[in-house]
Amino acid sequence: MQKEPRSTSFQTLSRWLSAILRPSASSQAVSDASRKIFIINLFCLVMVLFTASFAVYGLIQSKWEVIYDLLPFTALYVFIYFWLRRTQNHVLCGNLVLYPLYVVMLYLVYSGGVHGTGLVWIYCIPPMTLFLHGVKRGGIEVALFTIGLVVILFVMKTPFDELGYHPDLKSRIVYSFLLIACLSLIYEYVSSRFNHSLRHQLSVKLEEVAMTDHLTGLLSRHGLEQRLQAEEWWMPNVWLVNVDCLKGINEEFGHTLGDEYLKALVDSMHAFFEGRSVLISRWGGEEFLIVLNDTGDQSELANELREMMAKASVQVSSRQRRTISTSVSIGITIMRAGEPISTTLGRAYKALYQAKEAGRNRVDSL
């Protein structure tokens, strides 16, 4: 019995962090909401560790005002974390993270914080705001915060002024804050554009995959339905082509050769309809649905297709001269004006069953 590989402590840590930070234990989805939830959780975790360790420091140093100032924030971030886990409401929790933060940061600028060092914390505002509120709303909030910063530093008389720093410090603080804000704005803009185009490409690719049958490259059932809805088809001919006795071929030569034979049949259909306005789809395993932009009885044309498809073959192996070949049965009908596809299909199936019952390798119409 093979032993399970032991996970390293790094893997254990990353699993633990991912369980803490992801929107929910089972969620693997990558969406804008899950990204925001991840960022809020990460921020709360960092802030809890940060404020709690400063509070412990305050306790050791008997600085009670530090403890009183910081513990409410520790409690707030713990609350936001659990509230978000419970409700997944990232909009409310994002606001709960940001708005108290703006107030605290502006107060630190006003008061100077501990020995005038309070200002150094304001740089977390631009990235947090832009990550959580996006380029437009986040940009406006950062601009308003900057105005508040400028007013406090240059218009108001504050305790910070009494600390005796060089007057140039204030303008440098504003410049450096603006620099961080611009860099965060550029980063958020580029990454949101990139995510948007990635999501668009992915949805186009997924739609393409859903529209196409991967074995034959024909339209899938979904693809045909989409095309019929999107395009104007006036009373088209609808042909249901079913391969006769494919089961026997699979049993005798295997599924791989059965697949090759299906592809050979598709090639012969493409060759037959070249230059015509037609939709060819793989409706089921050994069943093709053809929608032909021709009105009126097309039994003769369908018979020509049947004869051509009967000539399609694949060689069993390069050594053996044997080839695989069988025939097809076709049920044909016309889609009447305003009729749902299901009604047309019902008639096409009836016609096909008639052809099968009458001995296969034939065309029947209804």
Q: Which residues contact ligand GTP (rule: CB under 6 A)?
A: 215, 242-247, 250, 255, 258-259, 262, 285-286, 356, 360
153, 169 Cβ separation under 8 angstroms: no
Q: How far apart are CA 299 and CA 308, in angstroms?
A: 14
Q: Which is nearer to ligand GTP, 35 or 350 (CB)?
A: 350
Q: How far apart are CA 214 and CA 184, in angstroms?
A: 43
Smallest separation, CB 252 to ligand GTP (Å): 11
Q: Which two tokens stand for residue 155?
A: 């218009």
Tell me which amino acid residue 94 is: G
Q: How far apart are CA 364 and CA 358, in angstroms?
A: 9
Q: Which is nearer to ligand GTP, 113 or 223 (CB)?
A: 223
Smallest separation, CB 273 to ligand GTP (Å): 21
CA atoms within 13 A on the CB side of 163: 20
Largest CA distance in the chain: 104
260, 246 Cβ separation under 8 angstroms: no
Tell me which amino acid residue 64 is: W
Q: Which is nearer to ligand GTP, 59 or 245 (CB)?
A: 245
Smallest separation, CB 259 to ligand GTP (Å): 5
Q: Which is nearer to ligand GTP, 103 or 215 (CB)?
A: 215
DSSP 151: I
Smallest separation, CB 334 to ligand GTP (Å): 24
Smallest separation, CB 249 to ligand GTP (Å): 7
Smallest separation, CB 351 to ligand GTP (Å): 14
Q: Which is nearer to ligand GTP, 259 or 307 (CB)?
A: 259
Q: Which is nearer to ligand GTP, 43 or 261 (CB)?
A: 261
Smallest separation, CB 138 to ligand GTP (Å): 51
Percent helix, percent strand, percent coil in the chain, to nearest 5: 65, 10, 25
Q: Which is nearer to ligand GTP, 241 or 243 (CB)?
A: 243
- Angle, nearest 10°, between helix axes 125-150 and 90-111? 40
Q: Which two tokens stand for residue 65?
A: 């005002």
Instruction: Name every residue whose Cβ is closer than 8 Å to that of residue 114 and which is 6 or more positions away in sequence.
Output: 66
Q: Which is nearer to ligand GTP, 15 or 247 (CB)?
A: 247
Q: Which residue has the tokens 């530093």?
A: 153
Q: How far apart are CA 67 and CA 56, in angstroms?
A: 8
Smallest separation, CB 350 to ligand GTP (Å): 15
